Homo-oligomer: A and B are copies of this chain.
Amino acid sequence: MEEGTSNSPSDCCSTERDYDIHQWDSREECEVRQILDRIADKWSLLVIALLEKRTLRFTELRKSIDGISQRMLTTTLRQLERDGLIERTVYPVVPPRVDYALTELGCTLHETIKALVVWTETNQAKIISARRSYDERASEKLW
């Protein structure tokens, strides 16, 4: 028996468009969840953001995303290709040359990713100070 689950809604947000929340219920059935999982991967985000500028080769991507391993870059690129977000072009030359470019679908996704990155850049100071004060409060309580 639930004693009052209908609490005061957070009043700083306006619920403009009512996109389905209960859709995320089932892990296997919900395709939106699956696709979000892929997009919400840190490497995918970076790759898409980089490819918006121009077509890049494998090694160019690897240099631009410091910290990514060759294996993870390969995996990420394959997944993005499978999802139709990027296009892989192989030139049968030696040494091999492989170009990666955003597809049209990938470009539309990039628009929203860009918003995310811009948000992060805009609000990073707030987040950093929030972390600092949280850590301070935590260490006070510990005492």
Residues of A within 8 A of B (CB): 5, 7-10, 12-13, 15, 17, 19-22, 24-27, 31-33, 35-37, 39-42, 45-46, 49-55, 57, 60, 64-67, 81-85, 99, 101-105, 107-110, 112-121, 123-124, 126-131, 134-135
Given contacts A101-B10, A112-B119, contact A45 B53 (CB under 8 A): no
B residues in contact with A17, CB < 8 Å: 114, 118
Q: How far is the CB of A81 from chain B (nearest CB, A)?
A: 7
B residues in contact with A114, CB < 8 Å: 17, 19
Max chain B C-beta neighbours (<10 A), residue from A42, A51, A104: A42
Q: What does DSSP make chain A's interface, helix, strand, loop or mixed? A: helix
Q: How far is the CB of A23 from chain B (nearest CB, A)?
A: 8
B residues in contact with A42, CB < 8 Å: 36-37, 40
Closest 4 CB pairs of A and B: A84-B130, A9-B54, A27-B67, A82-B134
Beta-carbon contact of A130 and B31 below 8 Å:
no
Given contacts A84-B126, A117-B32, contact A53 B9 (CB under 8 A): yes
Residue of B19, B45, B52, B130 touching A105 (CB-CB under 8 A):
B130
